[in-house]
Each structure stands twice: as C-alpha cells, then as structure tokens.
Amino acid sequence: MTDAADEEWTVERHLAGQPDFAVDLYHRFIRLVEEAGPFTYAVHKTTITLKGARRGFAGARPDRSGLRGYFDLQREIHDPRITSVAPYTKRLFVHHFRVSSAEELDDEFAGWLREAYEVGDGAHMR
C-alpha cells in the first residue's frame, strides 16, 4: 500500500479539490506566463514552480481563498496583491502574492510576470 506522502506531486494533484474559481485563477496565471515564453514545471508539495532556461522564476498554487504564489524580480514592488517582499540574492527580490479575482491578474501583474520570466532566463546575471 502506498502512503499519500510517498506519491509524486503533480499539477493535477495541486488542483484537485480546490474551488473552481481558484483553479481558474491558476490557469489564467499560467496563460500569462505562457505569453512571456516557454518554461518548464518543477512540482513540489508546497508549490508549482515555473522554470526558465537558467532558474525558477515564479510559482503558484490554488487554495480556498484564491491563488497564492511568488515571483522573482530585480527590483522591489509594493502593491496590495504583494503580501511580502524579501531579498533573495544581492540582485533578486522574491515577491509573495495572493489574488482572489481574475481582475487582479491584470496587465500590471502580467508585466511583473514578464520581468520574472526574464530572471528565469538569467537577466539578473547580465
């Protein structure tokens, strides 16, 4: 018999049992990242990480209150959707976010994800 803790974490497993609106937010988040370019997934128990050519740059997972996650930028931003900002390296800041409506995943948010995508491709190393 396999223990649930031994099962592999997948995107589908993260989405299972979450409210429809939260799963929809996750899919909208992924579409915004897809507009920036190709990426790969690294799925863990705590989050679904999105990886660029050089490194992970963002992650998210739906929950009962919406979507929570993070993205890495070369600058600090302050916005009600951002729940915390912390230095990750000398050149990067990790931004944790929480959104509960599709309107919050707007053009400004999409711009942050494009910046994060560039970090995933190594922009912070140039």
Q: Determine which helix (DSSP H) or strand (DSSP E) holds 109, and give its type and residue range.
A: helix 107-120
Give CA–CA dist 124/115, Å, rounded.
Answer: 10
Q: Does domain 4-125 have CATH number 2.60.40?
A: no
Give the angle 60-66-68 at the CA atoms, nearest 5°. Answer: 30
The model's pTM is 0.90
The per-residue pLDDT for 123 is 76
Can you give the pLDDT at residue 4? 52
User: Six-digit token pair at 11?
Assistant: 């995107």
Q: Residue 26 burial (CB < 10 Å; 0-12/13-18/19+)?
A: buried
DSSP string, 10-53: -HHHHHTTS-HHHHHHHHHHHHHHHHH---EEEE-SS-EEEE-S
Instruction: Output the pLDDT for position 122.
Output: 87
Domain limits of the chain? 4-125
Q: Note down pLDDT in tens along the chain; length 126 residues.
A: 445 555 799 999 999 999 999 999 999 999 999 999 999 999 999 999 999 999 999 999 999 999 999 999 999 999 999 999 999 888 899 999 999 999 999 999 999 999 999 999 987 777
Q: Is 73 helix (H, G, I), strand (E, B) or coil?
A: strand
